[in-house]
Structure 1
Amino acid sequence: MLEEELWAVLTLQKAKGVGDVIAKKLIAHCGSAQNVFSEKKGNVAKINGVGSAKIQHLFDKKNKVLAEQELNHILKNKVSYCYYLDDNYPSKLKHCIDGPILLFSDGQINLNKQPIISIVGTRKMTLYGRDFIDALMEEIAPYNPVIVSGFAYGVDITAQKAAIKNELQTIGVLAHGFDKIYPKSHKKYISEVNANGGFYTEFWHNDEPLREHFLKRNRIVAGMSDATVIIESAQKGGSLVTADIANSYSRDVFAVPGKTTDLLSRGCNDLIRRNKAGILTSPSDLIDAMNWKLKQESAKSIQPQLFLDLPEEEQLIYDFLLKNNKQHLDAIALECGLPVYKLATLLFNMEMKGIMRPLPGKLFEVV
């Protein structure tokens, strides 16, 4: 991305009341972030969702100065970042309407078609939760998932440490800038996480860990993952917010049940009771629900058919899935240029022909 465009994206980030949804509308309408600020204010105000009230904040000169300062920091320190239209942006997060327009990254993150699982829960974890995490990581390690969490106390850091122990890549999604690590006691884990994955944040380098930032962070944790697992949670808490967001994105959610008298199991039990989460009584439940197969198991499956007499649109879908492995419904629609309502019918027809199968989380793959 050119420096001028990055500056414009940063200015959009800083504009009060604009947010990621409207920012994407502005970029789509004007053709680029830079074009937003060269467009006439009257034309911008007419864009759906903008209005005259937001124009004042959008073109605030203070934001432009602050964006230039942050840009200089990024260039000076060679900060890595990914724009929501770039290939290196987390693919599943691209399909979330409120996904951040810009993510900063650190470490050795590699999302090379691996399954991604978010693990969240209480900061006051019990031995029951710790034991489940240890058993979970050990059993799912052969399937090589990426483990995402929030780098917080309790379940988050325990899951990330267990991932590293089992040689799994782990990503911490931060609710602050890279220069404001919270909690401070977790600074000792930064180099280890960076060597085995890394960090994402949408916040500028000096942004503080404010309460609202943690709630905002949760949509990234849920949005970039195939599924979210809640280990332990009280009746209220940030992990339940993450579960709600994951459900709103039509992603799989799982919860570990506990005794009805345990305070830190009430949130999980309630998710299961209200059919907002699948039940995980053992690590193998997750493997079965996600339909994970080891390479030797996959080799025994039916080999892809090379020559098929399919209608043009079904052949287009088949070729895309054959080349890209399992893909989300939205990604198939986007890449094949088909409306979702029509795609659903085509996928069903292909399933009936035995050449495609649906997976949890609105994923599909050829057989």
Structure 2
Amino acid sequence: TIWDKEYPAILKKIYDPPILFYLLGEMTDSDQYSIAIVGTRQPTNYGKVHAEKISMDLAKQGITIVSGMARGIDSVAHNAAIKSAGRTIAVIGSGLDVIYPAENKKLFEKITECGAVISEFSLGTQPDAQNFPRRNRIISGLSLGVIVIETGLQGGAMQTAAFALDQDREVFALPGNVGVKQSEGTNLLIQKSEAELITSAEDVITELELKLKPVLGKNIPKQQVDLSLFEEKIINVMNSEPLHIDKIATLANLSTSDCLVNLLSLEFKGLIKQLPGKMFALL
């Protein structure tokens, strides 16, 4: 229940958290680093490939994948996390004893072994249509951000994205071809600046480090970033204290102009931040 210490702290912060939910499997402290991956039940091959790749890459970084165990993108995301020996959480729209869709019985069992299946609906509850919008708020509520892979304009993933925005969570979307129904929703989210355009897990991790690490107060595992010789010089001379660009240029033995170009490149890569007065600091 919401009064138990095991109740996820991040879920308590949403507008309408479930007073109680039922759980099969186990939730761990690492699940505070969760990202939801959602999308259409009828994905294109493009959507399936990217959902699998993004889910696998995030799972390998220790990030828990949250989804709804529906056909299509949800199932791809769960399976990819499991394949990567990562953790995954399914939020379902029925009782824990009613597996829906039925063909996901094996997936259901795998998720309980390396994560958790949760539901706010009591045992015996059937997967009625009105249950799914309610469960979508929990998918986003458990997550630091929501990745929408593919969805039509009226898809449930659009509801999940809307919940995420209301909950002050990050929303990411994979762009798709104009005219493809499965990309109409994602393209609209990007066009309206309601979602950050992403093409890889690296894009998501960069946003998490820049925007969410200060809130969490913990380090999310960093990915490897390729640096030029000049960028390495700059990183090596910087420490925990902000430095003026002239000081950095002197220490790195670079001209001010070369130093500025490489500082901006490092900022783009999410390794440093620019402060007022031409000051720069490591992230």
Q: For this structure pair, what is the TM-score category when the shorter chain's length is used for normalisation?
A: 0.7 to 0.9
Name the amino acid aligned to 2:172. F
* Counterpart in the other structure of 2:231: none
User: Match for residue 39 of structure 2?
Assistant: 121
1:268 maps onto 2:186 in alignment: yes
Give the AA of the match of 1:105.
L
Consecutive unaligned residues of structure 2, counting only runs of 5 or more, are 210-218, 225-235, 242-274
Q: How does 1:24-43 map to 2 (within 5 A)?
A: none
Q: Give the TM-score, by structure 1 length.
A: 0.57
1:208-259, Cα deviation, whole Å (9 max, x unpaired): 1111101110010011110000000012110000000100011000000001
Q: Letter of the aligned partner of 1:266 in structure 2?
A: E
2-structure distance, mates of 1:294, 1:105: 28
Within 5 Å, which residues of 2 pair with 1:21-170?
83-112=1-30, 114-170=32-88
Q: Does 1:294 align with 2:221?
A: yes
Following superposition of structure 1 onto structure 2, how do residues 174-185 of structure 1 map, counting pairs within 5 Å?
Answer: 174-185=92-103
Query: Contact 2:99 / 2:108 at 8 angstroms: preserved in 1?
Result: no
8 Å CA contact retained: 1:104, 1:202:
yes
The CA distance in 2 between the partners of 1:113 and 1:148, in whole Å, is: 9
Paired residue for 2:122?
A: 204
Query: How far apart in 1 are the matches of 2:60 and 2:27?
Result: 19
Following superposition, the deviation at residue 142 of structure 1 comes to 3.6
- Give yes or no for contact 1:142–1:294 (8 Å, CA) kept in 2: no
Amino acid in the other structure paired with 1:147:
I
Identity among equivalent pairs (%): 35
User: What is the SS of the residue equivalent to 2:30?
Assistant: coil
Q: Quick one: distance in 2 between partners of 1:181 and 1:153?
A: 12
Of stretches 181-190 and 212-221 in structure 1, the one that deviates more from structure 2 is 181-190
Secondary structure of 1:112 counterpart? helix
Q: Is the 8 A contact 1:118 1:228 kept in 2?
A: yes
| Distance in structure 1 (CA, Å) of the matches to 2:187 and 2:207 | 18
Unaligned stretches of 5+ residues in structure 1: 1-82, 305-350, 358-366
Aligned-partner SS, 1:187: helix
Higher gyration radius (CA): 1
Corresponding position of 1:248: 166
CA distance in 2, matches of 1:293, 1:102: 29
Query: Which secondary structure does the structure 2 equivalent of 1:99 belong to?
Result: coil
Structure 1: distance between partners of 2:58 and 2:94: 30
Choose the corresponding residue for 1:234, options 152, 155, 159. Answer: 152
- Given the two structures, how large is their TM-score scaled by the length of structure 2? 0.74
Are the structure 2 counterparts of residues 96 and 184 from structure 1 closer, same or farther at C-alpha, using a change threshold of 3 Å?
Answer: same
Higher relative contact order (CA 8 A, sep 6+): 2
Q: Tell me how far apart the structure 1 counterparts of residues 207 and 240 of structure 2 sit (CA, whole Å).
A: 23
Query: Using the alignment, how far apart are the partners of 1:274 and 1:295 within structure 2?
Result: 30
Answering whether residue 206 of structure 2 is matched by residue 279 of structure 1, we say no
> What does the per-residue CA deviation read over 1:177-203, in whole Å, with 9 as the maximum and x for residues that have no partner?
012111111112222111110111000
TM-aligned CA deviation for residue 281 of structure 1: 2.2
Structure ranking higher in helix proportion? 1
